[in-house]
Amino acid sequence: MLTFSQIFLLATAALSASAAPLEEQKGHSFTVHQVRNPKHVKNGALALAKAYRKFGAPLPEYLTNALNVTYANVKRANTGSAVTTPEDYDVEYLTPVSIGTPAQTLNLDFDTGSADLWVFSTELSSRYQSGHSVYNPSQSSTSKKLSGSTWDISYGDGSGASGDVYTDVVNIGGVSFASQAVEAASTISTQFTEDTDNDGLVGLAFSSINTVSPRSQKTFFDNVKSSLSQPLFAANLNHNAPGSYDFGFADSSKYTGSITYTSVSTSQGFWQFTASGYQVGSTSYSTKVSGIADTGTTLLLLPDAVVKNYYSKVSGSQNSNTYGGYVFPCSATLPTFTYLVGSKSIVIPADYLNYSPVEDGSSTCYGGLQSSNGIGINIYGDIALKAAYVVFNGGSTPQLGFATKA
């Protein structure tokens, strides 16, 4: 029986064989579907710590202590029965991407909060490759080393990854770019290697924050957008189920009504927008809240005042140093949270905001909305983006579009 990866490779090869070079193709649109990461375990403190690390912010003491509690609980539980360990860089849903000739398929995280396409590679020592699909540039006839170029992603706690840069064919959804910069990891922190089903990421932020030196490289989207039917992609992320990304078109079967667009500030290299207000249940607040639309961050991270307004409506909630954020009884009734984009109300259902029990079997749950204090930026992560069909328009005047999900 063929494995998923084999089926994907065969499909990609068939598409590639019949396709003309990208430079000659016009009017493309395609959809790629996520696959579930079977190793994923939800843990609120780890999800929050990931955001701190990603944006270079030092972990506060309370969050470090909460992580220590998490690891201690896992260690105590691991006394003879199999235990699935929460991981610092665990990603719940991944997307297959093929690289090179013949195609090598890796499961990558699509991340609108970064601009690097980096992968596990054969340049890593064998112990760091274990459990991962890795990119082997020597086995690709189209791979070329980008002489003198390196990349380095460093996080606030000293973790990170770095390595060399190659150009090679990258194929996503049947559309390929012949000379995409592929950042091959040669050194990597253990936090990355523990998540054995995640082989790297595809950055979909603006190319201005790509980390390749001495000359930054373009993202896959920036390289292919001139060949697409429209210079956009859309995220259709789902709650507790795999979602999809549409490139070159907005799929009208996935949303109802019209798409409401808002302007984007690209000054920091992110898809940054401003919500014109928010609601907690039926209580409205006129405070504007700017932040970035980031598919690579799990939680919704907003200013303290917004977070306090929300949890004031949740019976038994508290900001817990033990668990690293706001928690509440799992049986509590939560209000919805709505953010306003122009005239469009994006309603996050209450069950999205109950992220997970703080540990297996616990009656205490961790909130999907947490404070952005200490990170330096507000983040509309997956908790918020799953509530809408979200269009990332990378045209001459970038915009974000939000529509009600079908």
Evaluate the omega torsion of the peptide bond into residue 86 and state whether it is cis, within 30 degrees of 0. Answer: no
CA distance 163 to 26: 34
**How many Cβ atoms from other residues are within 10 Å of residue 187's Cβ?**
13
The three-class DSSP label of residue 193 is helix
| Residue 119 exposure: Cα atoms within 13 Å on the Cβ side | 31
Nearest C-alpha neighbor of 326 from the set 372, 361, 278: 372
- The strand pair at 369-371 and 300-302 is best described as parallel
Is residue 4 packed enough to be buried (19+ CB in 10 Å), middle (13-18) or exposed (0-12)?
exposed
d(CA 146, CA 164) in angstroms, rounded, equals 8
Strand order in the sheet with 272-275: 272-275, 289-293, 379-380, 300-302, 369-371
- 83 class by beta-carbon count within 10 Å (0-12 exposed, 13-18 middle, 19+ buried): middle
Residue 351: how many CB atoms within 10 A of its CB?
Answer: 11
In what helix (H) or strand (E) does residue 14 lie, and over which residues does it extend?
A: helix 4-18
Strands 93-99 and 117-119: unpaired
Contact present, 275 and 290 (Cβ < 8 Å): yes
**Beta strands, E only, 230-343:** 232-238, 241-247, 255-263, 272-275, 277-280, 283-285, 289-293, 300-302, 318-320, 325-329, 337-341
- Residues labelled as active-site residues: 111, 294
Centroid of chain to Cα 260: 23
